[in-house]
Amino acid sequence: MELRNVAIIAHVDHGKTTLVDNLLKQAGAFRANQNVAERAMDRNDLERERGITILAKSTAVEWKGVKINIVDTPGHADFGGEVERILSMVDGAIVLCDAAEGPLPQTKFVLTKALARGLKPIVVINKVDRQDARADEVLNEVFDLFAALGASDEQLDFHTMFASGRQGWADLTMDGPRKDLSPMFDLILSHVPAPTVNREAPFAMNATILEADSFLGRILTGRIEQGTAKVNMPVRVLRQDGTVVETGRLTKLMTFSGLDRVPVDEVQAGDICAIAGLSDATIPDTIASPEVAEPLPAIPIDPPTLTMTFRINDGPLGGREGKKVTSRQIRDRLYKETEGNVAIRVKDSEEADSFEVAGRGELQLGVLIETMRREGFELTIGRPRVLTQVNPETGEREEPFEEAVIDVDEEFSGVVVEKMSLRKGMMQDMRPSGGGKVRLTFHIPSRGLIGYHGEFLTDTRGTGMMNRLFLGYQPWAGPIEGRVKGSLISNSDGEAVQYALFSLQERGTLFVDPGAKVYTGLILGEHSRENDLDVNPIKEKKLTNVRASGKDEALLLTPPRRMSLEQAIAYIEDDELVEVTPSAIRLRKRYLDPHERKKHARRAESEAA
The verdict on whether residue 15 carries a ligand-binding annotation is: yes
pLDDT of residue 33: 40
Q: Is the pLDDT of residue 448 over 70?
A: yes
Task: Give the DSSP letter of residue 553.
Answer: G
pLDDT, mean of residues 51-69: 71
Render pLDDT for 547-557 as a digit per residue (tens, 0 to 9): 655 555 567 88
- Tally of helices (H runs) and strands (E runs) in the chain: 15, 36
The verdict on whether residue 545 carries a ligand-binding annotation is: no
Please answer whether residues 361 and 302 qualify as being in contact, where contact means their C-beta atoms are separated by less than 8 angstroms: no
pLDDT, mean of residues 241-249: 89
Question: What gap in Å lies between CA 7 and CA 271, rounded to an integer?
Answer: 14
Residue 461: partners with Cβ closer than 8 Å, 6 or more residues away: 412
pLDDT tier at 526, thresholds 50, 70, 90: very high
The verdict on whether residue 14 carries a ligand-binding annotation is: yes
The verdict on whether residue 16 carries a ligand-binding annotation is: yes
Torsion of CA 578, 44, 185, 125, to 10 degrees: -30
Between 21 and 213, the more confident residue is 21
* Phi, psi of 380, deg, nearest 5: -120, 140
The verdict on whether residue 323 carries a ligand-binding annotation is: no
Q: Which of 73-77, 156-160, 253-257, 536-540 has the lowest mean pLDDT?
A: 73-77
Secondary structure (DSSP) of 44-103: SHHHHHHTS--S-EEEEEEETTEEEEEEE---SGGGHHHHHHHHTT-SEEEEEEETTT-S
The verdict on whether residue 17 carries a ligand-binding annotation is: yes
pLDDT of residue 369: 92
Render pLDDT for 355-364 as a digit per residue (tens, 0 to 9): 999 987 777 7
The verdict on whether residue 13 carries a ligand-binding annotation is: yes
3-state secondary structure of 1: coil
Residue 402: partners with Cβ closer than 8 Å, 6 or more residues away: 443, 444, 445, 446, 449, 468, 469, 470, 471
On average, the pLDDT of the chain sits at 84
pLDDT tier at 491, thresholds 50, 70, 90: very high
* Phi, psi of 70, deg, nearest 5: -115, 130
Which among 231, 171, 167, 120 has a CA at the least distance from the CA of 18?
A: 167
Percent of the chain with pLDDT over 90: 32
Question: What gap in Å lies between CA 182 and CA 170, rounded to an integer?
Answer: 8
Render pLDDT for 148-202 as a digit per residue (tens, 0 to 9): 888 899 999 999 999 988 888 899 998 888 888 899 999 999 999 988 888 899 9
Which amino acid, one-letter code, is at 139?
L
Handedness of CA 141, 147, 150, 156 (dihedral sign): positive
Secondary structure (DSSP) of 405-423: EEEEEGGGHHHHHHHHHHT
Q: Is the pLDDT of residue 77 over 70?
A: no
Which among 266, 174, 260, 198 has a CA at the least distance from the CA of 229?
A: 266
Q: Parallel, antiparallel, or unpaired for β 122-126 and 92-98? A: parallel
Q: How far is CA 327 from CA 320, 338, 424, 582, in A?
A: 16, 17, 38, 17
Q: What is the CATH number of domain 204-288?
A: 2.40.30.10
When the candidates are 3.40.50.10860, 3.40.140.10, 3.30.70.240, 3.40.50.620, the CATH number that belongs to 389-475 is 3.30.70.240
pLDDT of residue 382: 92
pLDDT of residue 35: 41
pLDDT, mean of residues 396-409: 88
Q: Which of 110-114, 137-141, 174-178 has the lowest mean pLDDT?
A: 110-114
pLDDT of residue 39: 38
Percent of the chain with pLDDT over 70: 88
pLDDT, mean of residues 108-120: 82
Q: Which of 113-117, 198-202, 503-507 has the lowest mean pLDDT?
A: 113-117
pLDDT, mean of residues 323-343: 85
Fold of 487-608: OB fold (Dihydrolipoamide Acetyltransferase, E2P) (2.40.50)
pLDDT of residue 494: 92
pLDDT of residue 43: 40
Render pLDDT for 557-571 as a digit per residue (tens, 0 to 9): 888 988 888 888 888
pLDDT of residue 47: 41
Residue 345: partners with Cβ closer than 8 Å, 6 or more residues away: 304, 338, 357, 358, 359
Q: Is the pLDDT of residue 310 over 90?
A: yes
pLDDT of residue 53: 40
pLDDT of residue 224: 92
Establish how many alpha carbons lie within 13 A of residue 125's alpha carbon, considering only the half-sphere containing its beta carbon: 27
* Most distant CA pair in the chain, distance: 97
Task: Give the DSSP letter of residue 597.
Answer: H
Fold of 2-191: Rossmann fold (3.40.50)
- Give burial (CB, 10 Å; 0-12/13-18/19+) of 176: middle
The verdict on whether residue 241 carries a ligand-binding annotation is: no
Tell me the whole-structure pTM to 2 decimals.
0.74
The verdict on whether residue 251 carries a ligand-binding annotation is: no
Between 139 and 471, the more confident residue is 139
Q: Is the pLDDT of residue 272 over 50?
A: yes
Question: What gap in Å lies between CA 177 and CA 191, rounded to an integer?
Answer: 21
Domain boundary assignment for the chain: 2-191, 204-288, 389-475, 487-608
The verdict on whether residue 144 carries a ligand-binding annotation is: no
pLDDT of residue 380: 94
pLDDT of residue 554: 64
Which amino acid, one-letter code, is at 609?
A
